[in-house]
Amino acid sequence: MPLLPTRPLTLSLLTGLTVLLAACGSTAPQPLTPKPTPQPDPTPSEVSGLIMGKITPFTAGDASSVHEGNGTPADQANGGSLVDASGNLLVALVSDQGQFDLALPKVGTMTSAPDASLLFTVPAVFGSCENSQTTAPSGLKVYPINFLTTDTGKNIVSEIDPSKADLNYRAWWFSNIDATVEYSGNCLGLGKINTSFELKRGWNLLITETNPGVSTTYTVSTQPTSHVNWQYSVSSVGSASIKYPNLLSPWKNLPQYHNR
């Protein structure tokens, strides 16, 4: 039997293979898209604190410095008062005109030792209270500065309107987080409280108005950008300081904070 010619078959196979290869290579490989590098969570914003004050009335020599907390700077060395990032007590020099600028610690300092141990929960900051109810984040910690102390051991407050019968003053409150606070209760010295306010991470200004033993209100405001008056608290608080000695530091009405 004669052999069949093979060339056409070979040609057909080659042609098919060429077509197949062409089809396979018609789409160029796509480059891999690199995965984006994870970015760290942004640092939460914070509100800085600066107390700009002027002791009124003031005579040169009445005081050379003011500080946060009770007692003289020497007393403070035993603890119980805030320190700055360098571990120094919060002290501001007083000018011959009675002016001072007290810079308050940043969040990082306030939430680290030793300052972190001085922060309060919301209920504790109002002191000894009955029928108290609190709505606030569980991790919220605060620290109020209701008064300052001169190097001679005298307390001063930033009273807003001395003509009012009620004690009304500026208070600087630290908060470790942004938070909404709702609180109600009947508290020793402060009287009835039924308040709600927003706190920002860092330092906040709360206008505090107290009719001693009757009621207290809190209103968020903005920190002054000029030197505001500070008066000696004996004259500001008046006779109420005799009946309610912890009016400006109500947490001291709780046994665990007697030394604060």
Q: What is the pLDDT of residue 14?
A: 45
* Angstrom distance (rounded) from CA 183 to CA 242: 26
Q: What is the pTM of this model?
A: 0.82
Residue 17 clears pLDDT 50, i.e. is over it: no
Pairing outcome for strands 129-135 and 179-187: antiparallel
Q: What are the pLDDT digits (tens) for 215-243?
A: 999 999 999 999 999 999 866 677 787 88
**13: in domain:** no
**25: in domain:** no
Q: Number of folded domains in the chain?
A: 1
**11: in domain:** no
**193: in domain:** yes
**3: in domain:** no
**2: in domain:** no
Q: What are the pLDDT digits (tens) for 163-201?
A: 888 899 999 999 999 999 999 999 999 999 999 999 999
* Angstrom distance (rounded) from CA 9 to CA 132: 98
Residues 6+ apart with CB under 8 A from 18: none
Range of the domain at 108: 50-257
Q: What is the SS3 assignment for 5?
A: coil
**221: in domain:** yes
Residue 11 clears pLDDT 50, i.e. is over it: no
